[in-house]
Structure formats: C-alpha cells, structure tokens
C-alpha cells in the first residue's frame, strides 16, 4: 500500500530524548506519527505493534493502517494519547460521579458536536483506549443533566418508539441475508 | 442493546456498543438515568436489565402515619424530595425539586406500599457505591418496610447511619441492614413524642457488628443503659449513658492510652449513683485546677501517651458530664502534673 503524505503530518512535541515514533494511517489516508508511550494507551494498536514486531529501527518505515478510524478522530486520539502518555494510573473510584473531575484540557478537546463525539467513541472503542473512553462517557453522561426526555432523544439521536417500529418493519420486509 | 443492523444516517447513542453504553450509564447521575429510561423502549429495557449505579450520596427518609418523605441526593445539589401521602382515593405523590413540584394520584394504592416499591427500585441501583449518609426518621417502622429490608440481597452501604425513632426496640429492625464494612458513624435520636431523658436498652445493639465497627457515636436525647466498656472503641463521640463509675472511667482512660485512638469524646450521665470525688482521686490522682480558688469544673487530668507527643486530657464537669480529648503535650499547662 503506497500512501503519499499529501496531507500534513501531525508533528507531536516530544520532551524526552530519543523517542520511538510510529506512523499510523487513517481510513482516509491521513498520516500521523505517535510516540511509543502514547501509542501504548491504545491496547489495539500496541498489540498490533508487538505482533508485527515493529522496533525503534523499522517503525517509521512500516506505517500502520487503521481502516476503521478517520483522520479527524485519529487526530483527536493522537492528541489525547500524547497528552496523557506519562499519566499515573488513575485511582480506583468508589463513586466516579463524585470523585472524578474531567480536566479542563480534556473538556476542551471533547467539546465537539454530539455526533462527532459518538463517532469518536466508536473509534476509541475500536482502538481500546480506556481513559479516553471514560472521559467521553463522562461527557455524554453529563449532557443529560437538566434535560427533558424529549430533549435527550434529540441530543442523543435516538429514534422514538414509533420510528423504531417503522424501521423494524422495513427491515423485516426487505429480504434478509438468507433470501 | 439496540439492534446494530438498523441503518441510520446519523450515529447516536443507540449505535453505541453494549460495553460503551454501560460505561456511559456508570458515569451519569441518577436523574439522568431515570430520564434516559423515558427516552425509548430499548433504553428502558437496557437500564432495567443493567441496573446502573445511581451513586447517591445521601438518602433521607421521614415516616409518619400519614406520609413518607424521601430525599435523594447525588453529588449535584438539586436533590428531589418525594412525598407519598395517604389520600382518600389512594396514594398521592408529590415530587418537589427546587421551587417546582408535581402531584400525582395513584388510585387504590396504599402510600406505604408505593413507597416501599419505589425504595426497593432505588436501592437496586445502589449496590456497589457507598452512601455518605443514610438517615431514617420513623417513630415506628412499618412492617412492609421491614420486609423490604429483609428481602434486600445486599445490605445498605453507608458511612453514617442516623436513626430517629420512638424506642430502642425499633433500632434492631433497621441497623442490621447496614453493611458494617463501611460504617463510620452511628447517630441515634428519639422522636419528639418520646419521653425525655428516657433510658434505652442497647443490649442487642452493642452486640451488633455495626456498633462494633463504627468509631463515631452520637446519642444525646436519651441515656444508654449498658456499661461503659461497650464504648471503648469510639474515638469520637457525644453520648449519654445511664451511669459511670470511677473504675469505668479509669478503664476508658487506660483504653485510650493503650489500644484505641482518641479524638474527642463527650459523655453525659444520669448519676443515679453519684460519682464520688474521693474514688476518682484515688484512681486518677490529684486533679489540676486552673484557678483553685474559683473552680469551674471538678478537675482535670493529663496523661502522656507513650512514645508520642500527645496526651489524653480528661475533664470532669459539674453538670454530670465529662470529656476525654487528645491534645499536644505543648498544650498541657506547665503547672499541671503530666502522668
């Protein structure tokens, strides 16, 4: 697979000396570099890297294609992982709602359109980044505050029961995989 | 979870995988969860199956023979009050939140039963997280409520348990349903209609794990009729007991010097058998008076805690009360004897 890096490569500020960098290609052919500590936050990517046997020497020559995640989401994800790569492990919360406060930087990062946020969650789920998942879910959970069920239906893009029934009917009318 | 095959143009909550949905509900407050339940059938079924935690901080229940009021609070400040009232046609429910309130009527329903059903529902979403406080005010515990507590698969996890009731016999209907593992503080009060300065029999209560694991106690509206040795493990407290003897006080002091930590304990006593100064002085030594010509108390004593820079400060007041507190050695008056 040959990819022309026609889109800008996201350069990431690196504070520690001699970082190992990996190259990731999104579904729409955007290329990202990400440091070793950051990429470890994604269980999926790190498993892939270990399985492919990528090392400091050959990492940049072997870009990793991620076909389920587009460039926009990947950019957010790379930013998040670089930001949090040296984080200490989060404490066990006995009451997440009470004890956990979303840092301002992350709140800003996740201040995006609701549908974009749901897209980001799907990408995060695929890449298995627990911390980002927790943060996104917190933002989604917080959205429900002080809203009526009607407002929530719109915010969360949930069809009404009637729409759901109609969808189900049209799905059962159309021939299924078995004909 | 909602069927993934349904094709929609926009990605929304219904497209989230089950693991994501659980995570979102885990981080939503209880009002949001209850509202999400009303959004669609799929969500309601999911929430009812999964029972996401409500993460409540405070549950307060106030029962009378005419109504039951419940107060639920999570970390946000806008906590609702729900009242289940006796009504000639059934049960009237009034939900109040800030200045707004809504009233519903459930015909042919008994208010205690409706309350118990809803309490059970709330508690099924409060299984793993620990409350700061669970308080119950009820002159008499209704049978239905006892049954709900008995049927609860897991005990209530709370740091503070506070109960206001008419007599000691009601306490053991509720106290055993608190998880001793998380209990820190016990508070018992008597209902306004109970006789003042009554003696309460705490025999069964002091044997309970809940009593033994808590380390703070407040009992100030009646006198607990059990020996003082049952109170040794409380590091902080404000309680009234039936009687204290010089020996019991000596044992309590020794207990703070050797095994159990002390912050501050204030004890009132009924003094049917007067506490004699000479018995006290024989055990504790000569008391210290800040101003011997104008005594403001029956004496003070200071005891060094071995291996620390702290001391136990014991004051006996005139008004049938006394206090043990932990102080720094530097706070001990220079002319007082440090034992």
Quote the minimal CA–CA distance from B158 to chain A in Å: 12
Distance CA A166, CA B37 (A): 21
Tokens (6 digits) for A116: 């974009």
Residues of A in contact with B57 (CB under 8 A): 95, 98
Nearest C-alpha neighbor of B158 from the set B57, B22, B307, B50 = B57
Of B79 and A13, more confident: B79
The rounded Cα B230 to chain-centroid distance in angstroms is 18
For residue A140, the chain B residues in CB contact (below 8 A) are 13, 24, 27-28
Q: Are A145 and B31 in contact (CB under 8 A)?
A: yes
Q: Is B296 exposed, middle or buried (0-12, 13-18, 19+ CB in 10 A)?
A: exposed
Q: Of B3, B32, B97, B182, which to mutate for an interface test with A (greatest number of A Cβ within 10 Å)?
A: B32
Give the residue extent of every domain in chain B: 1-52
- Kindly list the distances between the CA atom of residue B265 and the CA atoms of B151, B215, B321, in Å, as whole numbers in the listed order: 37, 11, 11
Residue B59 is given by DSSP the state E
Give CA–CA dist B241/B231, Å, rounded: 10
ipTM for the assembly: 0.79
Cα A154 to Cα A55, A150, B30, B36, B336: the distances in Å are: 47, 7, 20, 12, 74
CA distance A72 to A27: 10
Beta bridge partners of A146: none
Q: Which residue among B12, B28, B31 places its CB closest to the CB of A157? A: B12
- Quote the DSSP letter at residue B193: T
| Partner-chain contact B75 A138, CB within 8 Å | no
Average pLDDT value for chain A: 83
In chain A, which residue's Cα lies nearest the Cα of B9?
A157
For residue A167, give the nearest of B6, B23, B129 by CB distance. Answer: B6
Q: At what angle do helices A114-127 and B18-26 cross, to 10 degrees?
A: 120
What is d(CA A111, CA A169) in angstroms, rounded to the nearest whole number? 36
pLDDT, position A141 = 87
Strand partners, B325: B264, B313
Chain A residues within 8 A of B10 when measuring between CB atoms: 115, 157
CA distance A30 to A23: 10
Reading the block at residue B174, the tokens are: 């509720």
- Taking alpha carbons only, the member of B305, B288, B252, B248 closest to residue B271 is B248
Structure tokens belonging to residue B93: 């429910």
Furthest C-alpha separation in chain B: 91
The Cα B114–Cα B144 span in angstroms is 10
Classify domain A21-143 at the CATH class level: alpha beta
The answer to whether B27 contacts A141, with C-beta atoms less than 8 Å apart, is yes
Which three-class secondary structure string do you get for chain A?
CCCCCCCCCECCCCCCCCCCEEEEECCCCCEEEEEHHHHCCCHHHHHHHHHHCCCCCCCCCCCEECCCCCHHHHHHHHHHHHHHCCCCCCCCCCCHHHHCCCCHHHHHHCCCCHHHHHHHHHHHHHHCCHHHHHHHHHHHHHHCCCCCHHHHHHHCCCCCHHHHHHHHHHHHHCCCCCC
| Three-state DSSP class for residue B277 | helix
pLDDT digits (tens, 9 = 90+) for A106-161: 999 999 988 899 999 999 999 999 999 999 999 998 888 878 888 888 888 887 77
Q: In chain B, which residues have pLDDT < 50?
A: 2-8
A178: pLDDT strictly greater than 80: no
The total of other beta-carbon atoms located within 10 Å of residue B141's CB is 20
The confidence score (pLDDT) of residue B72 equals 92
The token pair at A137 is 């879910």
Say which of B27, B36, B129 has its CB closest to residue A138: B27
Closest CA to B226 of B239, B242, B238, B211: B242
The beta-carbon neighbor of A98 closest among B3, B16, B75 is: B75
Q: Assign B34 to helix, strand or coil.
A: helix
Which residues are bridge partners to B106 per DSSP? B91
Q: pLDDT over 70 for what percent of chain A?
A: 83
Summarize pLDDT for A66-90 with one digit per residue, the tens. 998 999 999 999 999 999 999 988 7
Q: Which of B278, B297, B300, B274 is nearest to B287 (CA)?
A: B300
CA-to-CA dists, residue A97 to A84, A101, B56, B87, angstroms: 21, 8, 9, 37
- Inter-chain residue contact B23 with A156, CB threshold 8 Å: no
Gap from A83 CA to chain B (nearest CA, Å)? 22
Check residue A5 and give its pLDDT: 46
pLDDT in tens, B125-184: 999 889 999 999 999 999 999 999 999 999 999 999 999 999 888 999 999 999 999 999
d(CA B298, CA B325): 16
Q: Write out the E strands in B88-241.
A: 90-97, 100-107, 131-137, 158-165, 185-190, 199-200, 216-224, 236-241
What count of CB pairs under 8 Å joins A to B?
Answer: 117
Strand partners, B200: B224
Give me the pLDDT at residue B109, please: 93
Distance CA A86, CA B142 (A): 55
* Residues of chain B positioned with their CB less than 8 A from the CB of A123: none
- pTM of this structure: 0.81
All residues at 6 or more sequence positions from B115 whose CB lies less than 8 Å from its CB, including other chains = B68, B70, B84, B145
pLDDT band, residue A101 (cuts 50/70/90): confident
A133, A144, A149 ranked by CB distance to B28: nearest: A144
Residue B117, by phi and psi: left (phi above 0), alpha (psi -120 to 50) or beta?
alpha
Alpha-carbon distance A169 to nearest alpha carbon in chain B (angstroms) = 11
The C-alpha atoms of residue A66 and residue B179 are separated, in whole angstroms, by: 48
């Amino acid at each position: 697979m040959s990819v022309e890096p026609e889109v800008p490569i996201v350069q990431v500020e690196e504070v520690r000396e001699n970082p190992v960098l990996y190259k990731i290609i999104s579904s729409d052919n955007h290329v990202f570099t990400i440091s070793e500590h950051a990429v470890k936050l994604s269980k999926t990517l790190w498993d892939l890297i270990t399985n492919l046997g990528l090392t400091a020497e050959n990492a940049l020559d072997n870009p990793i294609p991620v076909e389920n995640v587009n460039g926009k989401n990947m950019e957010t994800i790379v930013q998040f992982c670089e930001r949090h790569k040296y984080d200490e492990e989060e404490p066990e919360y006995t009451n997440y709602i009470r004890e956990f406060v979303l840092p301002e930087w992350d709140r800003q990062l996740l201040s995006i359109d609701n549908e974009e946020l749901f897209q980001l969650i799907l990408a995060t789920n695929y890449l298995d980044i627990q911390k980002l998942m927790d943060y996104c879910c917190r933002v989604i959970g917080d959205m429900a505050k002080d809203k009526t069920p009607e407002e929530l239906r719109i915010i969360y893009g949930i069809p009404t029961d009637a729409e759901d029934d109609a969808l189900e009917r049209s799905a059962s009318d159309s021939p299924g995989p078995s004909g | 979870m909602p069927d993934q095959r349904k094709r929609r143009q926009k990605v929304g909550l219904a497209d989230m995988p089950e693991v994501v949905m659980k995570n979102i509900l885990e981080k939503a407050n209880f009002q949001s969860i209850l509202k999400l339940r009303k959004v669609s059938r799929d969500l309601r079924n999911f929430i009812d199956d999964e029972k996401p935690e409500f993460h409540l901080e405070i549950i307060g229940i106030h029962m009378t023979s005419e109504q039951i009021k419940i107060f639920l609070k999570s970390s946000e400040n806008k906590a609702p009050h729900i009242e289940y009232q006796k009504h000639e046609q059934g049960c009237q429910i009034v939900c109040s939140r800030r200045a707004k309130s809504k009233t519903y009527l459930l015909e042919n329903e008994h208010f205690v039963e409706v309350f118990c059903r809803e309490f059970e529902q709330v508690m099924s979403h409060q299984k793993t997280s620990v409350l700061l406080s669970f308080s119950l005010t009820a002159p008499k515990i209704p049978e239905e409520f006892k049954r709900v507590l008995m049927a609860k698969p897991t005990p209530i996890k709370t740091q503070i348990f506070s109960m206001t009731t008419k007599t000691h016999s009601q306490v053991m209907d509720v106290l055993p349903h608190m998880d001793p593992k998380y209990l820190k503080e016990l508070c018992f009060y008597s209902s306004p209609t109970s006789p003042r300065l009554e003696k309460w029999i705490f025999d069964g209560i002091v044997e309970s794990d809940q009593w033994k694991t808590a380390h703070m106690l407040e009992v100030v509206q009646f006198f607990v009729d059990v020996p003082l040795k049952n109170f040794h493990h409380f590091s902080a407290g404000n309680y009234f007991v039936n009687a204290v003897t010089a020996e019991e006080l000596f044992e309590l002091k020794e207990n703070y010097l050797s095994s159990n930590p002390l912050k501050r304990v204030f004890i009132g006593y009924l003094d049917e058998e007067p506490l004699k100064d000479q018995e006290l002085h024989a055990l504790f030594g000569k008391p210290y008076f800040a101003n011997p010509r104008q005594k403001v108390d029956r004496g003070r004593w200071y005891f060094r805690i071995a291996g620390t820079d702290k001391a136990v400060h014991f004051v006996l007041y005139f008004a049938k009360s006394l206090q043990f507190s932990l102080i720094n050695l530097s706070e001990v008056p220079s002319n007082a004897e440090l034992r």
